[in-house]
Amino acid sequence: MDRTPPTRHPAGFRSALRTTAEKAASRLGPYGAMWITLVLGGVFVVVMTYLASEVYEGVTEDDGLAGLDHPLLAWVMSWRSGALNTAITWFTHTGGTIGMPIIAILAIITLTYRSRSWRPFLLIASSALGSLAMTIAGKNLFGRARPDRADAIPPYETSPSFPSGHTLNATAIIAVIAYLWFLELEKRMARAWMIAGSAAYVVLIGLSRVYLGHHWLTDVAAAWMLGLMWAALVVLAHRVFHTVRRVRRDRQAGNAPTA
């Protein structure tokens, strides 16, 4: 059974959301409202990707956060060893072009079965496509060079460094998967462990990119920010869907709509 997330909003926001939902229910329907939210959110995130590259350039010029890039890389290089390098290389592949699609597909199959709904597929696929678009846009807009190959651990990568694609995609996809699992779990402790585990995985994927010398810290930090931003918009689209659907049901039943 598909679980409807609880909706608790301040009174002013609830009133505005109800009014908007009433209009959307009449003109678009729940799926239409969800897709409109995703499309507008996608445009917003592309703009934010461009702004993030501009902010990064300013940080670099001012030697702000970017001033940590070289010292941090030098520090993690001092921790390297053969066994650790192999372990982290295998781990980082779980967030790559093979590992992350496998995780996403397994999550889609499991959550679709549990919820008896196609929405896990729509939301996880949306998170993946959006994060991929941001990764491509960011790399093309900025074109930042990766750390020197002499400081990196093979296999080497040749695409631009900003933002970290592994980190951005893992952040967006895992955050949406965590949200959907949160709706399925009922025990508070299970939810807490799920959130903690998801957050730890995303953080470690980003740090693994720095450890391996494949990205700078600033590439990873921007990827975390953009990935969370896109995941939040996907979650918002899901909540808009449920609000519009609830309003439509209330109107059909002849009840006062509640958001």
Confidence of residue 9 (pLDDT cuts 50, 70, 90): very low
Give me the mean pLDDT over the 247-252 stretch: 63
pLDDT at residue number 69:
84
Q: Which two tokens stand for residue 224?
A: 């975390």
Report residue 202's pLDDT band, with 50, 70 and 90 as the boundaries.
very high
Find the helix packing angle between 165-184 and 119-142, rounded to 10°: 160
Bigger pLDDT: 45 vs 134: 134
CB 41 within 8 A of CB 229: no
Q: Is the pLDDT of residue 32 over 70?
A: no
The model's confidence at residue 25, banded by pLDDT at 50, 70 and 90, is very low
- Nearest Cα neighbor of 152 from 100, 76, 97 is 76
Contact between 234 and 133 (Cβ < 8 Å)? no
Average pLDDT over residues 218-233: 89
Here the tokens at position 14 are 């609830």
Q: What's the whole-number average pLDDT of the chain? A: 80
- The helix/strand/coil state of 27 is helix
Tell me if 1 sits within 8 A of 241, measured CB to CB. no
- Asked if residue 207 has pLDDT above 90, the reply is yes
5: alpha, beta or left? (left if phi > 0; alpha if psi -120 to 50): beta
Residues acting as catalytic residues: 166, 215
Q: 39 or 132: whose pLDDT is higher? A: 132
Overall average pLDDT of the 70-90 stretch: 92
Confidence grade of residue 243 (pLDDT, cut at 50, 70, 90): confident
Q: Is residue 8 predicted with pLDDT exceeding 50?
A: no
The DSSP output letter for 5 is P
Name residues whose C-beta falls within 8 Å of residue 44's C-beta, 6 or more positions apart in sequence.
233
User: What confidence tens digit (pLDDT) does each residue in 108-153 have?
Assistant: 999 999 888 888 998 999 899 989 988 888 888 778 889 999 999 9
pTM of the model: 0.78
Residue 91 pLDDT class (50, 70, 90 cuts):
very high
